[in-house]
Amino acid sequence: MQAIRINPAPKTEPPYSPTNPAPSKSLTNDKIPIPKPKSPTDLLIKIKATTIIRDMLTWPEYYHQQYTIPGHDFSGTVAAVFESDGSTSSSPSPPHNFKIGDEVFGMANTNRASTWAEYAIVSVDEVARKPRVLGWEEAAALPLSALTAYEALFRHAGISVPTFGSEKERNTSSKRVLITGASGGVGIYLVQLAASAGVHVVAASSSNVRNGEFLRGLGADEVVEYGDLEGENGVFDVIVDCVGGEVLSKCWGFIKGDGVLISVDSASFDFVAEHQKRGLCDGKEGVNALFFIVEGGGEVLSALAVLAESGALRSFVAATFPIESVREAYDFANGRFEGRGKVVLTV
């Protein structure tokens, strides 16, 4: 099968690492054997589409061994399942009910990449059935970003999960939720999910001219630029930050004394301790402030699929490239581009 692998650095150069990340020229399209399910919870997926995320070659998990196959988001079909005698078959085996040919999407565990390939082994708790309303590219673009948004709002911020039905059955809430970086890769899903949950959504970005109409179309009640937030002292019940830096620092002034402040910006993993040292948290000791790493899982993926089927959640693809053009695709994803959403590799 085809598989994109990170080749080691030349012997004349320092080894690749998170601080000396592999360049796109280290990515090669190699022929390797198709893997086989080795446990009852393994599924072999024939990959249709996968995604590229900015700076993903800086992630430490890609340097635990040589010739790692990157990639986490995916859509595809079940190609094989495990059987107790070690063979594979179309007959489903416990503990799952997936069978060959099922259309699925999901996210491989962050500690185990592999989806930049024709086939990948994933665990049954990392997949769900693909929403029928989404194409392969759209389905692959959804998991990591939408899972992050879902967990931020519904697990960590305590917002009630959306329900659907008559207008009387729809969630309504007086909570005010601020989302920074609202037009970015995670922000676009935060806006949609928060709006579907019935909270008052304030979407912040660097430009209303560029992003205002788009964010209102996703369900934002208000669209603001960062300068517009000055003077908004203690008015938000929940803030989910996707930007970090000075924007995140200023969020301490915007959050209520008993609110929830979450950052999903990867560079802000230690923001709470750092901000405590700087005194930014003074007077806001009641705020539940945290950074988290997405867990994922089939249950939440299935919930996202339901939301997509209902029309409450749209997926966005900025650009697509064939897997053979992975170097060009990675460089594109790490540059400035006009499209919204993910850069997708098709297989």
Q: Same CATH fold, 148-291 and 2-142+315-346?
A: no
C-alpha span between 70 and 51 (Å, rounded): 10
**CB-based contacts of 301, cutoff 8 Å, min separation 6:** 105, 106, 107, 126, 127, 128, 143, 147
At which residue do the structure tokens 């997509």 appear? 308
CA distances for 295 relative to 147, 153, 155, 232, 242, angstroms: 8, 14, 11, 33, 17
State which amino acid sits at residue 294.
V
Give the length of the chain.
Answer: 347
The tens digit of pLDDT for each residue in 128-143 reads 999 999 999 999 999 9
Q: What number is the average pLDDT over the span 246-266? A: 96
E runs forming strands in the chain: 2-6, 27-31, 42-52, 73-82, 88-89, 103-107, 119-123, 127-129, 176-180, 200-205, 222-225, 236-241, 255-263, 288-291, 317-322, 342-346
Residue % of the chain over a pLDDT of 70? 94
CB 77 within 8 A of CB 106: no
For residue range 63-109, list pLDDT tens digits in order: 999 999 999 999 999 999 987 654 555 544 456 789 999 999 999 98
- If DSSP codes are grouped into helix, strand and coil, which group holds residue 342? strand
User: Which has more confidence, 169 or 247?
Assistant: 247
**Greater pLDDT, 201 or 95:** 201
pLDDT at 172: 67
Q: CB under 8 Å to 216, separation ≥6 — which residues?
A: 223
Taking the mean position of all CA atoms in its chain, how far away is CA 225? 24
Of the pLDDT bands very low, low, confident and very high (cuts 50, 70, 90), residue 165 is: very low
Where helices occur in the chain by DSSP H, the ranges are 136-141, 143-150, 187-196, 208-218, 245-254, 271-278, 298-310, 326-333
Domain 148-291 has CATH 3.40.640.10: no
Confidence of residue 278 (pLDDT cuts 50, 70, 90): very high
> Sorting pLDDT into bands at 50, 70 and 90, what band is 339?
confident
In the numeric block, which tokens belong to residue 224? Answer: 């603001």
25 by Cβ neighbours in 10 Å (0-12 / 13-18 / 19+) ranks as: exposed
Confidence class for position 113, pLDDT limits 50, 70, 90: confident
Give the pLDDT mean for 272-290: 96
pLDDT confidence tier of residue 273, bands split at 50, 70 and 90: very high
Q: Which residues contact 304 (CB under 8 A, 6 or more apart)?
A: 128, 131, 142, 143, 146, 147, 150, 313
Q: What is the CATH number of domain 2-142+315-346?
A: 3.90.180.10
pLDDT digits (tens, 9 = 90+) for 6-44: 999 999 999 999 999 999 999 999 999 999 999 999 999
pLDDT of residue 338: 78
pLDDT in the model for residue 92: 47
**The pLDDT value given to residue 174:** 83
Whether residue 169 has pLDDT greater than 70: no
DSSP letter for 323, please.
G
Q: Which of 12-16, 28-32, 172-176, 216-220 has the lowest mean pLDDT?
A: 172-176
Residue spans per domain, the chain: 2-142+315-346, 148-291
Which CA distances in Å does 18 have to 39, 57, 59, 83? 31, 7, 6, 38
> Contacts by 320-328 with C-beta closer than 8 Å and gap 24+?
320/49, 320/137, 320/344, 320/345, 320/346, 321/345, 321/346, 322/346, 323/2, 323/4, 323/29, 323/116, 323/347, 324/29, 326/4, 326/24, 326/27, 326/29, 326/52, 326/116, 327/24, 327/25, 327/27
Tokens 């919870």 sit at which residue?
Answer: 41
